[in-house]
Structure 1
Amino acid sequence: MKMSQLNNRSEDAAKADKITGAAATLSFHEVGYKVQVGNCCRKIANVILRDVSGVFEPGLNAIMGPTGGGKTSLLDLLAGRRESEGLQGDILFNGKTLPSDFKLISGYVTQDDIIMGTLTVRENLQFAANMRLRNCSKEEKLERVNEIIQDLGLDKCQHTKVGTVMIQGVSGGEKKRCNIGIELVTKPQVLFLDEPTTGLDASTSHSVMNLLRDLTVQGNRTIVFSIHQPRYSIFRLFDRLHLLSSHGQTVFHGPASQAVDYFARHNLVCETYNNPADFFLDVITQNSESSDLKINLSDSVVPIIETCNSNGKAAQIDLPALFKTSPENRLMKKVCFEILDHRTISDNCRSLGYPINWFSQFFYLSQRSIRNLLREKQRSIVPSASMAILALVVGSLYLDVATDLNGFQNLFGALFFVSIQMLFGNVPAIQAFITGRNIFLHESANGFYRVSAYFVATVFCDLLPLRTVPSLVFGTIFYWIIGLKFNLKLFAFFHLTNIVTTMSACSLAFFISVASGSSTVANALLAVIFVIMMLFSGLILNVSSMPVALSWLQYTSISRFCLVAHAGAQISDLEFCGYRTIIRNGTAHEDYFCEPGKELLRLQDINYDTASQWLNVGFLLIYTVTFFTLAYLSLRMVRKNK
């Protein structure tokens, strides 16, 4: 292939270009990128990429370089998946600046397979089709899924679950192809892949890369990917190659088939049976240190003419500077200048928007969440089962609580236990937004759905089956086993208070989990908060005897509102009677006493009237709405890009 053919594609890709029409060209011009590292007091700019330029056209476009050389950073910047802060230079798509909805017309496959493991291969592809295909009927979406399954060779495993830690699923190669298929649903003009062969054996890696090669020919696609050190059978599939140094500088950009000849012209020859990819990384790594350090090239590198320093030893070669003076760089710069001369601004006002409306997004997200829940038996059954067992065991301690003089303490303690259980029993709610966090970040960045649709669907599918149902199970068993009032209205109010308390506790758990992003941190914070709420509930310490400076904390206690509502409904019109021994004139007497429940509640600083009961439920609702809102806003502020 001649040097003047830098921007030509392979013969197969060129034929496809004629068939399918205009091709997608991605160009980057003098791109620099740096990030701020360090603490808030002292930050240092860490330069990742330096003056990187190139043009990627239909075919397989590989970004190679040593670890830490900026391969993934460059890939993310080209895909618009990284924050623009610290970015210099221009990135153009078909001669235009990247449109705001570029994520909707491109695909991005992450290095780690981010996919719902409890769903089958077909179900994952169908979900992507339902979410991402616009103006298509149900039949057309199904046809598209069938087409992808056929093209990617997923026929045999289409009804097999992808797999999780607890569920045996498809192989690594099939999972990778499923991930690629999800991005191919929209027939993107550009497909990005981060280390597509990571975690795969040699045979599977070759199969995946052959698949990508076929996709470039069939669909005239521009496929850009980072890759570390592929074997030769994979390397020879590449159309274009961009080599980066250890310091994020361009070492070579051009047709992959010309890379070996380029290095040979500069006195670095790859041996006949050596893998070119290994050879390139050897050269780059061994010439990446400072110029005052001396190296000895490995056997795979045979310098024809040695450049010697004053000591007569082989000196390092400045590979980036060498490329800047090469004909390959001049030709590449010429193509880049031509693109820049004709650049235009993308019409961001005409954004494509989401393919389907909010309610459809909510429906498909809820459908997926429910399927996921039903297939994780332990997760769906354990909450209700554990609540039932706990209600039976603890309820037996308070079996048919009597209204004697000790009855108030027992009954008040039982209701306190209910309020505490509605708190600590919902600590697992923190997992709702943590277990699926990676999937959410990936799908949201790829334009699958709105944040609000995901938030409402996740809350709905977690709060109803995993929190509300167990609360009802616990409340029903506990209510009758301890012998609370046989009154339908009070029974309904008991459940209503428990459900609202559950929602309040879950809203706080959701907020902390979303804001922290870590189950460890969220567990620790939530445990501390719930213990403080328990202390200010009014049983362990009487509210009236609390220090004035801390007494306001009772109004932040979810369990306090729950306990007060329950106590007012169940105790206010009771009388606790029995014999009590008193000393009168030095003689012990057994006298019969009755203590009104209202008076006992007043001593606990509890307002027992009906209005106060509903007021406490109202406070819990305000608590719920407040923290659901904060959780949603926190989710919106989570960085989708790197």
Structure 2
Amino acid sequence: MNVQETPSTDVEIGGIRTRGSFQAGQSETRYSVRTKKEGTKVILQGLTGHFRAGRLTALFGSSGCGKTSLMDVLAGRKTTGTIVGEVRFNGATCLKKNIKHLCGYVEQFDNLVLSVEQMLMYTAELKLPALTRAQKRERVEEVIAQLRLEGCRKTVIGGELVKGISGGQKKRVNIGLSLITRPPVLFLDEPTTGLDSAMADEGRTVVATIHSPTASAFSLFDDLLMLRDGQLVYAGECGDAAADYFSKRARALAAKRARGSAAGDALATATLAATFRESDAWTSLEAELALAHGDGTKPPVAVPAHLRRASPLRAILILLKYRALTDYRDPVYLGPRIGDKLVFSLIVLTLYLGEGGEMAPAKVAGVTGTLFMVTALCGYGAASVVPSLVLDRPLFYRETNDGCYGPFAYFTYKIIQERPRLILAVADRRRPLALVPQEGFLCVFTSLLFTVVIFWGVQFQGSFFILMLSYYLVTMISIALAYAIASLAPTLEAASAMLPTYVTTVMFVAGLIMLTDEIPSQWAWYGWTSFIRYGWAAMMNNQFQGHPNGEAKLFLDANGTAITVLDFYGLRGPVLGDKWACIGMLVAIFAVFFTCGLGVLSNIRHERR
């Protein structure tokens, strides 16, 4: 298929008064944040600028002058503070949700997954679903050649825990992830490698923040926009034009000092900004903005079809295909999810071998406690999945900022990753439903392995399917709970503390540690929210209902009357006395935890920018 590339795009910020376009009649852009100590702190003020297509622009200034803040405003990535003013593309407005599709944004980010080639192809799959697989592969090869990554294309990128490619190569991969869509506008946050004028020669608008560039690096730029304390002190061409402008300012300052006049205020930020607004460069800038804006009636910028991102369903499948497959090959990922099940199954097997059908009260009590621990340990075992979401958070923020997918697709992928690993090779349209050979069934596999060992080893009674289904649902609830807490907690340490705390509270009111009928009224309601209660009740009903040791009156109630084990623990009535009702409650609780986790992930961001 032939795909029309996005036309060259200018970027304008502030500068033209239009009816109703700006708050309080302001045409210039201003960005401020609220702080506890200083109240409202202005980061950017009075900004008007124009980044031209086919030009490489240096966003220059000292640390803390507002360079990155301005670039975040331009790219629609600010999550805090107040922005007054307007950013336009080719003189027209653009919805914030569309800006990320038009702009590539290269951040200082090293913690990437997959090999170089895989990461580029994975990004192409997410960002360019309208292209054929051959066209995506062509884009990948183009970026690898352009950024000279041929020597490391098969090498894992790596991160803090895994050694991978060099720092300079990671910088170039970061640029490549943005170039894969050939975006009309490209923002780079202090690039130290991979920057060249060819990016602008293709008609792209390229803006890069720089702090202390070398002479050779500075010579690459066509235009310069200089900030000081959040204010604009120069905008225009680099080279001779910039040199002439600052030379004139320097000569005027030297002459002032020679006359014995006070020159201190001449170097103040406000003075430098005011001086620029009186210059020919400012006049030229205003004329360019007026020409770009026209009469102010241009329709909002639309996203070309080939730059629209993958649908949520397709994004889920792509995440499973690339990201989950990598985890399945990682012993660090698999070990905690399989090892504890094997160890616990062997402990249960050796302690209670063949005792599932025994009639002695002690044996029945032992089996009851075993089923309770089987259920409760699912909740504690979910702690192993917490790091995968917390440590993945920077990559999640990066890819959602790029518009690769939304919180729903990501959260669903993480949950499915712990469920049956049915990963579809969706990118291969000749085999749309073919299974990836390395697919796994981690949660199903571990649930099946564990229940097979204990069911026949201990000789539990009832249905094997009910036992496995109950165990599986409790495990999935625990995983959904773990991801919800991991989304809410600001740090890994906090999440690791919150999860076992909550699981312990619902374990206390599940019905074994304190009998259901004896739980104080102020806590009784909480017991009905306990997923451990329903999982244990389903297993208990499956184990004892209709069997001799379940029908025998082996226990005594408070009045000394002989009762069955199910009556003793209060497992009776239309809910706790029915294994299918308990399973239904488990499904409902999973849906609640999934919804809560998705809501938290969608509305709480621990990234502040």
Inter-partner Cα distance in structure 2 for 1:164 and 1:84: 28
Inter-partner Cα distance in structure 2 for 1:540 and 1:230: 67
Q: Residues 356 and 600 from structure 1, CA distance in 2 versus in 1: closer, same or farther, beyond 3 angstroms?
A: closer
Q: Residues 387 and 491 from structure 1, CA distance in 2 versus in 1: closer, same or farther, beyond 3 angstroms?
A: same
Q: CA deviation at 1:22?
A: 6.2
3-state secondary structure, aligned to 1:481:
helix
In the alignment, which residue of structure 2 is the partner of 1:74? 70
Does the 8 Å CA contact 1:354/1:448 hold for their aligned counterparts? no
Inter-partner Cα distance in structure 1 for 2:301 and 2:608: 19
**AA at the equivalent of 1:477:** V
Deviations 1:45-91 (A, max 9, x none): 21111101121112211111122211111111112222596222232
Does the 8 Å CA contact 1:121/1:178 hold for their aligned counterparts? yes
Does the 8 Å CA contact 1:308/1:314 hold for their aligned counterparts? no
In the alignment, which residue of structure 1 is the partner of 2:459? 483
Q: CA deviation at 1:394?
A: 4.2
In the alignment, which residue of structure 1 is the partner of 2:138? 143
Q: CA deviation at 1:347?
A: 3.6
- Please, which of 197, 202, 223 is the counterpart of residue 213 of structure 1? 197
Does the 8 Å CA contact 2:93/2:301 hold for their aligned counterparts? no
Q: CA deviation at 1:165?
A: 3.1
Give the structure-1-normalised TM-score. 0.79
Does the 8 Å CA contact 1:568/1:607 hold for their aligned counterparts? no
3-state secondary structure, aligned to 2:394:
helix
Task: State whether structure 2 residue 178 is matched by structure 1 residue 164.
Answer: no
Q: CA deviation at 1:307?
A: 7.6
Does the 8 Å CA contact 1:564/1:613 hold for their aligned counterparts? yes
Q: CA deviation at 1:638?
A: 4.4
1:562-581 pair list within 5 angstroms: 562-572=535-545, 573-575=547-549
In the alignment, which residue of structure 2 is the partner of 1:559? 532
Task: State whether structure 2 residue 18 is matched by structure 1 residue 25.
Answer: no
Inter-partner Cα distance in structure 2 for 1:165 and 1:517: 19
1:252-331 pair list within 5 angstroms: 252-257=234-239, 258-267=241-250, 303=254, 305-306=256-257, 317-318=267-268, 319-331=272-284
Q: CA deviation at 1:23?
A: 3.5
Q: Residues 474 and 316 from structure 1, CA distance in 2 versus in 1: closer, same or farther, beyond 3 angstroms?
A: farther
3-state secondary structure, aligned to 1:96:
coil
3-state secondary structure, aligned to 2:101:
helix
Q: CA deviation at 1:463?
A: 3.2
In the alignment, which residue of structure 2 is the partner of 1:536? 509
**AA at the equivalent of 2:571:** I
Task: State whether structure 2 residue 34 is matched by structure 1 residue 37.
Answer: yes
Q: Residues 120 and 499 from structure 1, CA distance in 2 versus in 1: closer, same or farther, beyond 3 angstroms?
A: same
Inter-partner Cα distance in structure 1 for 2:46 and 2:173: 36
In the alignment, which residue of structure 2 is the partner of 1:272? none
In the alignment, which residue of structure 2 is the partner of 1:509? 482
Q: Residues 96 and 171 from structure 1, CA distance in 2 versus in 1: closer, same or farther, beyond 3 angstroms?
A: same
In the alignment, which residue of structure 2 is the partner of 1:122? 117
Does the 8 Å CA contact 2:474/2:531 hold for their aligned counterparts? yes
In the alignment, which residue of structure 1 is the partner of 2:491? 518
Q: Residues 66 and 526 from structure 1, CA distance in 2 versus in 1: closer, same or farther, beyond 3 angstroms?
A: same
Q: CA deviation at 1:432?
A: 4.2
Q: CA deviation at 1:315?
A: 5.6
Q: CA deviation at 1:384?
A: 0.8
Inter-partner Cα distance in structure 2 for 1:450 and 1:549: 40
In the alignment, which residue of structure 2 is the partner of 1:372? 326
In the alignment, which residue of structure 2 is the partner of 1:623? 589
1:390-401 pair list within 5 angstroms: 390-401=344-355
Deviations 1:291-350 (A, max 9, x none): xxxxxxxxxxx956528989x785662322222222222322232233334444434677
Q: Residues 395 and 637 from structure 1, CA distance in 2 versus in 1: closer, same or farther, beyond 3 angstroms?
A: same
- Please, which of 216, 224, 233 is the counterpart of residue 251 of structure 1? 233
1:70-109 pair list within 5 angstroms: 70-83=66-79, 86-99=82-95, 100-109=97-106
In the alignment, which residue of structure 1 is the partner of 2:558? none
Does the 8 Å CA contact 1:445/1:641 hold for their aligned counterparts? no
Inter-partner Cα distance in structure 2 for 1:470 and 1:309: 84
Q: Residues 608 and 308 from structure 1, CA distance in 2 versus in 1: closer, same or farther, beyond 3 angstroms?
A: farther
Task: State whether structure 2 residue 180 is matched by structure 1 residue 224.
Answer: no
Inter-partner Cα distance in structure 1 for 2:186 and 2:399: 15
Q: Residues 21 and 555 from structure 1, CA distance in 2 versus in 1: closer, same or farther, beyond 3 angstroms?
A: closer
In the alignment, which residue of structure 2 is the partner of 1:606? 571
3-state secondary structure, aligned to 1:243:
strand
Q: Residues 50 and 407 from structure 1, CA distance in 2 versus in 1: closer, same or farther, beyond 3 angstroms?
A: same
Inter-partner Cα distance in structure 1 for 2:571 and 2:504: 21
3-state secondary structure, aligned to 2:405:
coil
In the alignment, which residue of structure 2 is the partner of 1:418? 374
Inter-partner Cα distance in structure 2 for 1:466 and 1:522: 23
Deviations 1:523-545 (A, max 9, x none): 22222211101111222212222
3-state secondary structure, aligned to 2:157:
coil
Task: State whether structure 2 residue 290 is matched by structure 1 residue 337.
Answer: yes
In the alignment, which residue of structure 2 is the partner of 1:360? 314
Q: Residues 491 and 75 from structure 1, CA distance in 2 versus in 1: closer, same or farther, beyond 3 angstroms?
A: same
3-state secondary structure, aligned to 1:441:
helix
Q: Residues 451 and 553 from structure 1, CA distance in 2 versus in 1: closer, same or farther, beyond 3 angstroms?
A: closer
Q: Residues 242 and 170 from structure 1, CA distance in 2 versus in 1: closer, same or farther, beyond 3 angstroms?
A: same
Give the structure-2-normalised TM-score. 0.83
Inter-partner Cα distance in structure 2 for 1:161 and 1:483: 47
Inter-partner Cα distance in structure 1 for 2:456 and 2:361: 21
Inter-partner Cα distance in structure 2 for 1:440 and 1:376: 20
Q: Residues 215 and 339 from structure 1, CA distance in 2 versus in 1: closer, same or farther, beyond 3 angstroms?
A: closer
3-state secondary structure, aligned to 2:150:
coil
Which is greater in Rg? 1
3-state secondary structure, aligned to 2:459:
coil
Structure 1: unaligned runs, 5 residues or longer: 1-19, 198-204, 270-301, 581-594
Does the 8 Å CA contact 2:550/2:565 hold for their aligned counterparts? no
Percentage of identical aligned residues: 27
Does the 8 Å CA contact 1:79/1:108 hold for their aligned counterparts? yes
3-state secondary structure, aligned to 2:186:
strand
Does the 8 Å CA contact 2:35/2:41 hold for their aligned counterparts? no
- Please, which of 21, 24, 43 is the counterpart of residue 48 of structure 1? 43
Task: State whether structure 2 residue 181 is matched by structure 1 residue 182.
Answer: no
In the alignment, which residue of structure 1 is the partner of 2:430? none
**AA at the equivalent of 1:607:** R
**AA at the equivalent of 1:575:** N
Deviations 1:331-376 (A, max 9, x none): 2223223333444443467774834444432221110122221332
Q: Residues 317 and 577 from structure 1, CA distance in 2 versus in 1: closer, same or farther, beyond 3 angstroms?
A: closer
Q: CA deviation at 1:396?
A: 2.1
Task: State whether structure 2 residue 299 is matched by structure 1 residue 346.
Answer: yes
Q: Residues 127 and 632 from structure 1, CA distance in 2 versus in 1: closer, same or farther, beyond 3 angstroms?
A: same
Q: CA deviation at 1:24?
A: 2.2
Inter-partner Cα distance in structure 1 for 2:121 and 2:604: 27
**AA at the equivalent of 1:105:** L
3-state secondary structure, aligned to 2:100:
helix
Q: Residues 37 and 395 from structure 1, CA distance in 2 versus in 1: closer, same or farther, beyond 3 angstroms?
A: farther
Q: Residues 575 and 229 from structure 1, CA distance in 2 versus in 1: closer, same or farther, beyond 3 angstroms?
A: same
Q: CA deviation at 1:434?
A: 2.3
Q: CA deviation at 1:378?
A: 1.7
Inter-partner Cα distance in structure 2 for 1:444 and 1:221: 23
Does the 8 Å CA contact 1:115/1:179 hold for their aligned counterparts? no
> What do you get for the CA RMSD once the two structures are aligned?
3.0
